[in-house]
Structure 1
Amino acid sequence: MIGVGTNGYATIGARKIGSGYDVPEGVDIRGRYDEEFAKILTKDALQFVVDLQLEFRNHIKYALECRKESKRKYNEGAVPGFDPATRYIREGEWICASVPPAVADRKVEITGPVERKMIINALNSGAKVFMADFEDALSPSWENLMRGQVNLRDAVNGTISFHDKARNRVYKLNDQTAKLFVRPRGWHLPEAHIFIDGEPATGCLVDFGLYFYHNYATFRQTQGAGFGPFFYLPKMEHSREAKIWNNVFEKAEKLAGIEKGSIRATVLIETLPAVFQMDEILYELRDHSVGLNCGRWDYIFSYVKTFQAHPDRLLPDRVLVGMTQHFMRSYSDLLIRTCHGRGVHAMGGMAAQIPIRDDPVANEAAVELVRKDKLREVKAGHDGTWAAHPGLIPACMEIFSNNIGNAPNQMKTVKREDAANLTEEDLIQRPRGVRTMEGLRLNTRVGIQYVAAWLTGSGSVPLYNLMEDAATAEISRVQNWQWLKYGVELDGDGLGVKVTKDLFGRVVEEEMARIESEVGKEKFRKGMYKEACKIFTRQCTAPILDDFLTLDAYNHIVIHYPKISSRL
């Protein structure tokens, strides 16, 4: 219940909500007031976000409408392909701006949410780059988002520390740290705690705007002109979306009074339509690009989403959809050829394994899988790779260093000309493998547990010796949806059994019992497993596939206040 406290601020219970912030005209902040957050949500910083929102919101809305139109065409039988109208870009002799020396060597990058301890450990991990994530690895609660901005400001300033009271240990930065990249949310995600002219702000403009405003000057002092800030850009489907980002960067540079090209970004190629737009994406960002990345988990999710109305393109068990599948290997090879032809990095995908501390034999087997995956990447021509856990960095670094040597990357030595003959069919070839009852059960078990963690504020979750994030949860969801929609007949132990709503209902019930057994009754009772089960089940059985699981789940973590003035 909302009331007015004795201090004049609107309150819920004993908490201030939004009303302590000094905001520009037309801005409503609906998250709670916090003195540290107020140092991020200054009037000038918010005005910077407002300027970005007002200039680009219609371009963003148009881009999202174009996504809907493309989906309609795919659902009517079309398949993605190269655009004849932009052939001149793909065949043109142009290159991107030179990669800054500060980030020439990106052999191993670690990723994780913008949590304080995580940031310190990742920057100290020995990786070349840490990608601090506001997107798939973060549950976008008000606390997480604003605390993340505070943490990143302190990290850029070199003052970040964390006192782990349980271990009585203080964490601080080493003398040598990884380079910091930041990934804002995708275009589709709103920020419902900040309203601008009566509508939610665009999440990525909030993430980018607040971080850039508070930190570009420090980057300039410590790195020099043209050396950052650095970003990762997610979820694009078309070069028109890259053009928006390029314009955002140019406006930010102009408002800040810094040289064009100071901001640099790597684009994640993690949607099926985007693989046919890689040259065009780099062309639009050519003054600000430092490469492309194989965002392979979201890419698998996008394959199902793109072909949701194509019953001839059903995925096998998710554990079988790896980089050895023809369409995945083709995607990687084309990305390498494209990036090296344009003078930027071709980054490999995520090693999602985490150390298995209580089983040395199983741990060594898991690390060996990582080594094989990274050896495949480096020999294919990738300049670097991703790891989800600090414990994997030595193995990944060893593989890349042994094969690249003293060179910072492979841009000049590996051109991958054999990828020149890749066709549209190579990039969409049907994946092969079995579909099993265990695959259905694993999807269900992982999906429910991930959503439960996400609802309680954790966006990066260790499950069954893998680090799961929103991308892998999306694979679980859309694969279940696909198998249900087309009544897939299961292989293996489920031979002859078709996936129906009745079967899925029994699987959900049994997997919920298993989850309760695994996590313990007390944790299960206190957690949001039942709420997560409802959300995940509804998404899997919906007649129409939702574009993103997180859009539905977001409604359950945002507190919807009646519209109130930021000052009463």
Structure 2
Amino acid sequence: MTLTIRDNLKETYPDVYTAEALAALSALAPFNQRIKTAMAERLKRRTDRQQHQNRITFLDPESLIPGTGVKVQDARDGNFEGSVIPADLQRQWIQGTGPAAKPNAPVENSIRNVAYALLSGADGWMFDGEDALGQITTMSLDNQRNLKLAIHKDPVFLNVAEQVAQEMNRWSKPFLGRDIVTDWENQLNFTTKIFRARGLHLDDRHIRDADGTALAASIVDATLYVVNNYQALQKAGSSIVLYLPKIQTAGEAAVWNDLLNALESQIGLSAGTIKVYMLVEQLEATHQLMEIRAALGRHFVGYNTGRWDYINSVSDAMAWDKSFINPNIEAITMTYGYMRNYEDRVRRAVNTPDRNGHFALWQGGMEPNIPVGSEAGVSASMQKAVAGAEREQREGASGKWVAHWKMVHIVRPVWEKVGKANQLGREFPRLTYTQSDADGLILIEPAPTDIRGARNLVSVALQYGNAFGQGMQAAALKPADFFGNDDILYLMEDMATGEIRLSILWEWIHKGAVLTEDDPETSTKAGTVFSPELYQKLVSEEYEKLLKAASKDVYESSKTTTLPIALEIANVYTLSDVKPPWFIDLLNINLNNLDLDVAKKRIQLYMNTLAEDGKRITENLDFVATSPYV
């Protein structure tokens, strides 16, 4: 199939767009229409739920999983062929997450991200192509280039890694009392390389298919990573491992399974060679966990229980229900109402054996803390981080995520002390599919809903939109009221954390959240309804704080470029009666745009298209075609 690559990028990135990679992309391009159809069906389900006020339900046990020959009941009973867990995934006590590239940086600087990751001592590192990877200019290609250089141990990477090892030890010696890297060359072999491709709902910014339609980012990401690295990974005795995000249904999982089968066939790998974790980030997915396992079959090795995306998904799925209102985001921990029920379903799903007696892995959620701040602030936050890890280990997780390399040696000892490689096969009750189970997955419990919580939501949402526009989809942020307070640590935020903040604000505004606390500063009393006017007052005040902030927290140049656009997006999102399905859509259509007037027109175009046609705008609006690749 003919593909069009924009702006001579094929010539600029010949090491990424290799002949073998381009051939594979052409071979897999027919999946583009299938993915677009699946996403249209996803959006229709969402629209129907909101129009008819329907809750998500479990599948008919006698039906077939779409795209497969597996009956739903067989999937629930474990009557399907799953995967043996490969040796390098048997112990994944700590997986780090983060991108392999930096915005607007030369290779020697950008690739430092990979060096920190592979020298961190993490059992695995999920190099992100999705929520934490900036997409301005050609960052997705820089990400692929850096990973290839590192996996192939190119001299450019090795030179950087040697320098980074020394820097890491300079930090660890006073903080931990020891070096954390004693043999940097050998340490590079310790961490399992894992790549998170973008979800089915996103389009690649650089390639279009024969019809001129933006190629699904999932096709591009998975293909470029696997084709460019599978031989080097296998030569090193490493598995080829992907994380798959934002899957909502077993039918969508079947699309991924067929895509991976086709990719394996294209490059001569046995079916099931590519292994995948799936992030359980969607409410609908928790209704179909065993069905998703069955649909991914021999590729599937485990689930991850992320926090932020899942909260957003529940909020979005229940947008029609006036009685469903989330409290302050700080209250929605993994032990809160619907979150603990979600986690419980995941652990039961992975510990249900397939027909060959194989279990799956459960990787626990994200630890967003960064140990930088006052001694008291760091101590308190690290205690909280360790306590969270201990809870997940007790509940049955085989490991967890951290968002910064400095957290690896703080959290990993929780699993080291226990000493078990994993918790495969730990006994839990089989999943059930009752009305009570469904109710538990949307269970709201009493918790604070107050002005302090609203300010936190507004401030971080604005800062995140601003960071995104600068190419920093992973950013260390905290509410503006705590700038300069080293007792309050910065948290690593990515796309999902920005999204849920606007989603909760939308709920509070459109469903009339009732505040639970008095607030002298705004003269609001407990019992006050959170109104659009109150939101506008808070957003004006929080925006002013960001304009006055030092460059450490808000780059001066952004205050007249990306920050005003972030404000416009936040206001349109939260005040619109038609709730946008994805915050990232509004950000993506403004990537590389610094003109507020242009941004306003694009945002309005998106919202009009959504309201009138029921469609999202997902392609790169600045795409400039060059000669096609055939």
TM-score (norm 2): 0.81
Shift of 1:549: 0.9
Q: Distance in 1 between matches of 2:165 and 2:573?
A: 43
Shift of 1:487: 2.4
Decide which moves more: 489-498 or 248-257: 489-498
Asked if 1:308 corresponds to 2:319, the answer is yes
Map of 1:127 onto structure 2: 122
Shift of 1:255: 1.2
Residues 1:242 and 1:33: Cα distance change in structure 2 (over 3 Å): closer
Name the amino acid aligned to 2:338: F
Q: Distance in 2 between matches of 1:536 and 1:287?
A: 42
Counterpart of 2:204 (choices 186, 191, 208) is 191
| Structural mapping, 1:409-448, within 5 Å | 409-412=422-425, 414-417=426-429, 423-448=437-462
Root mean square deviation of aligned Cα: 2.4
Q: Distance in 2 between matches of 1:161 and 1:148?
A: 17
Is this contact kept in 1: 2:96–2:124, CA < 8 A?
yes
Name the amino acid aligned to 2:550: V
- Counting aligned pairs with the same residue, the percent is 25
Asked if 1:50 corresponds to 2:26, the answer is yes
Map of 1:517 onto structure 2: 548
Shift of 1:448: 0.9
Residues 1:58 and 1:418: Cα distance change in structure 2 (over 3 Å): closer
| Structural mapping, 1:64-463, within 5 Å | 64-75=39-50, 76-85=52-61, 86-94=72-80, 96-115=82-101, 116-159=111-154, 160-161=157-158, 163=160, 174-197=187-210, 198-223=212-237, 228-342=239-353, 343-357=359-373, 359-403=374-418, 405=419, 407-412=420-425, 414-417=426-429, 423-463=437-477
Q: How many positions carry a matched residue from both structures?
A: 535
Is this contact kept in 1: 2:450–2:516, CA < 8 A?
yes
Q: Distance in 2 between matches of 1:89 and 1:191?
A: 33
Q: String of CA shifts for 1:493-524, please: whole Å, max 9, x gaps.
A: 24243322222222111101111233348355
Residues 1:561 and 1:78: Cα distance change in structure 2 (over 3 Å): closer
Secondary structure of 1:535's partner?
Answer: helix
Is this contact kept in 2: 1:142–1:193, CA < 8 A?
no
Name the amino acid aligned to 2:385: V
Is this contact kept in 1: 2:136–2:470, CA < 8 A?
no
Shift of 1:213: 1.2
Decide which moves more: 244-253 or 38-47: 38-47
Q: Distance in 1 between matches of 2:573 and 2:136?
A: 21
Q: String of CA shifts for 1:19-68, please: whole Å, max 9, x gaps.
A: xxxxxx732222454866122113442231122121x1232122212212
Residues 1:395 and 1:95: Cα distance change in structure 2 (over 3 Å): farther
Secondary structure of 1:519's partner?
Answer: coil
Secondary structure of 2:13's partner?
Answer: helix
Shift of 1:401: 2.1
Unaligned runs of 5+ in 1: 1-24
Map of 1:544 onto structure 2: 578
Q: Distance in 2 between matches of 1:331 and 1:158?
A: 40
Is this contact kept in 2: 1:337–1:420, CA < 8 A?
no
Decide which moves more: 213-222 or 444-453: 213-222
Name the amino acid aligned to 2:546: I
Q: Distance in 2 between matches of 1:42 and 1:411?
A: 39
Name the amino acid aligned to 1:408: A
Q: Distance in 1 between matches of 2:352 and 2:145?
A: 39
Is this contact kept in 2: 1:381–1:415, CA < 8 A?
no
Q: Distance in 1 between matches of 2:291 and 2:164?
A: 50
Unaligned runs of 5+ in 2: 62-71, 102-110, 169-183, 354-358, 479-489, 592-619
Shift of 1:106: 0.6
Shift of 1:418: 8.0
Map of 1:18 onto structure 2: none
Q: Distance in 1 between matches of 2:98 and 2:350?
A: 25
Residues 1:32 and 1:434: Cα distance change in structure 2 (over 3 Å): farther
Secondary structure of 1:423's partner?
Answer: helix
Is this contact kept in 1: 2:88–2:239, CA < 8 A?
no
Q: Distance in 2 between matches of 1:528 and 1:78?
A: 38
Is this contact kept in 2: 1:321–1:431, CA < 8 A?
no
Q: Distance in 2 between matches of 1:363 and 1:328?
A: 26
Q: Distance in 1 between matches of 2:566 and 2:100?
A: 23
